[in-house]
Amino acid sequence: MKRSATGWLFAGPAVLAIAVFFFIPAAAALFLSLTDFDIYALADIRNLRFVGLRNYIELLQLPLFWLALGNTLYFVFVGVPLSLAASLGAAMLINSKLVRFKPLYRTIFFAPFVMTLVAAAVVWRYLLHTRYGMVNYGLQGIGLQPIDWLGDPAWAMPSIILFAIWKTFGYNMIIFLAGLQSIPEDLYEAARIDGASRWQQFRHVTLPGLTPVLLLTGVLTMAQYFQLFAEPYVMTQGGPAQRTVTVLYFMYEQGFKWWNLGSASAVAFVLFVFMFIFTVLQFAVARPPRGRA
Amino acid sequence: MSRQTETLLMNALIIVVALLTVFPLVWMLSVSFMTPGDAAVFPPPLWPKNATFENYVELFARGGMGRYVFNSFLISTCATLLALTFNVTAGYAFAKMRFFGRDAVFGILLGALIIPAQVGMMPLFLMLKSMGVINTYAGALVPWIASVFGIFLVRQFALSIPDEMIEAARVDGASEFRIFRSIVMPVLQPVLVTVALFTFLTSWNDFMWPLIVLTGEQNYTLPVALAALSREHVQDNEMMMAGAVVTTIPVLLLFLVLQRFYIQGMLSGSVKG
């Protein structure tokens, strides 16, 4: 009994802090999403009314919300596979026995991840500048036409994806590197003796060996990519033609620009439901069906 | 393909990738020393013609940068101290102490990782508003008091402490606090560095919560201030690059010095977990 009390004395403060500042607000958000909390309620709570599912129904009828959802899914479904591929490529480069100065490259590839996101976005906005940007200079150097990266509705989201890959590939690279190093060298040896090509070795030894790591990084990266906010806030302000308004950007504007906190909470819950569904789906796809090994 | 050509190709490839990766950082630094207006030409200059500190002077003298640097350092330092206090005691308790509801509570905490932080932001804002801490450092610190990830990291590390060590001290009549201070803390030292580093870097780089809770300019952290400045000064590339340097150099340096702890913590948090 006494020991139980001491245990709670040690764990209690942290658990309490998480309960008060995370669990209770998250639960309250569900309630808030069922009310018409707006700027009038902010001024006087007596203006608050319970409206049932009205916020959700109104959201589903709002074209901008669908656009934000579409933009976010575009970012997630194009960005996550590309970013995992970039991470895996970088990890395999560093893991190669032929490459020297591995620790140096590892640090360089990881550096963008540690950089402050807002600062990196400011730098990239300049890199991607239509007239003075280094990227267009490079394009023209190899004989291509300059692109209006952040000003062309068709290019804005691809630009943000490119930036996000550069910013985050180092993180998963480190995890893949640990995964690659855990694959026994004997397996490659055996594959070579059986006459397997490079591609076959990658396909039948490397990829199966990395499956658990791929699932883990896939789930975590997707959760992170669903929360796209600062990049469009700094680089495009949601434009051009609202093509980079994401779900969180939309939520931020609803909640903290227009003070529709009820509606913003509904947006947050819809995002949560989407993230949850796609996480479960990833686990379902990665787990082989029963009956087959 | 001979082994020599292959070695050459692989090394050439990785050098190109590394140069592309590091280029935005180097260019940021280079442009930050250019005279205002010099970077807005085509082709873009690689190095400053006449290196100058003008942009930095301008930022600190008229842009209020000193204030933002102070805010960021203060908030991240306090966040780190809070996280150390709360997460380390809790992580140790979840690993080594027996108490009512321990495993159930830990399970619920882990389950919380699936809920994105933004879900609770609107009610949290209202809660802090009723407490009167909107636009204060305290409001900005709230999310950093304790974190599931921090508790988890410490717990994983504390599990490796032999029970006999703690039991022996108990038999000798040492109090639980004495055991924690004299036996557990020294063993946990590496993970303390990891938790401190993670908290400092993430709270420094955080954007959305300080943007919401710090409504007055005088309380802005560096990322919030830089985002606001960059919306005002769209054309002043040189000054914006200097702002980006000031914002990001402290955390980059911290990472370079302590990267061993960072990467260890990352791997124990995601691969083994």
Give residue A292's pLDDT.
43
| Residue type, position A115, single letter | M
A:183-202 residues touching chain B, CB 8 A cutoff: none
- Are B227 and A230 a contacting pair at CB < 8 A? yes
Judged against a pLDDT cut of 80, whether residue A188 lies above it is answered with: yes
Mean pLDDT by 10 residues, chain B (273 residues): 87 96 96 91 87 94 94 98 96 94 95 92 96 96 95 93 90 90 92 95 97 96 96 88 96 94 80 41
pTM for this structure? 0.94
The secondary structure of A136-176, three-state, reads HHHHHHCCCCCCCCCCCHHHHHHHHHHHHHHHHHHHHHHHH
Give the Cα separation of A108 and A121 in Å (integer).
Answer: 18
Give residue B273's pLDDT.
37
**Could you tell me which chain A residue has the CA closest to the CA of B259?**
A107
CB contacts, 8 Å: B7 with chain A:
98
A:115-144 residues touching chain B, CB 8 A cutoff: 115-120, 122-127, 129, 131-134, 137
Other CB atoms within a 10 A radius of the CB of residue A28 amount to 18
CB contacts, 8 Å: A229 with chain B:
207-208
**Could you tell me which chain B residue has the CA closest to the CA of A137?**
B43
Paired tokens of B127: 């809660």
Give the Cα separation of A246 and B219 in Å (integer).
Answer: 27
Give residue B46's pLDDT.
87
Instruction: Yes or no: say if B153 and B193 are a contact pair by the CB < 8 Å rule.
Output: no
H or E stretch including B59? helix B54-61
Judged against a pLDDT cut of 50, whether residue A288 lies above it is answered with: yes
- Are A268 and B212 a contacting pair at CB < 8 A? no
User: What's phi and psi for A140, nearest 5 deg?
Assistant: -65, -30
Give residue B39's pLDDT.
87
Q: What is the ipTM of this complex?
A: 0.94
Give the Cα separation of B89 and B85 in Å (integer).
Answer: 7
Segment A41-63, tens digit of pLDDT: 988 888 899 999 999 999 999 99
CB contacts, 8 Å: B76 with chain A:
none
pLDDT band at A289 (very low <50, low <70, confident <90, very high): low
Closest chain A C-alpha to B194 CA, distance in angstroms: 14
DSSP assigned state of B217: G
Give residue B2's pLDDT.
81
B89, with CB counted inside 10 A (0-12, 13-18, 19+), is buried
Give residue A82's pLDDT.
98
How far from A269 is each of A88, A161, A182, B260, CA to CA, in Å? Answer: 33, 24, 39, 38
**Cis, bond preceding A153 (omega within 30 deg of 0):** no
Give residue B44's pLDDT.
86
Segment A251-270, tens digit of pLDDT: 999 999 999 999 999 999 99
Q: Average pLDDT in the A175-202 region?
A: 92
Q: Which of B18, B112, B211 sits opposite A108 (nearest CB)?
A: B18
Give residue A293's pLDDT.
40
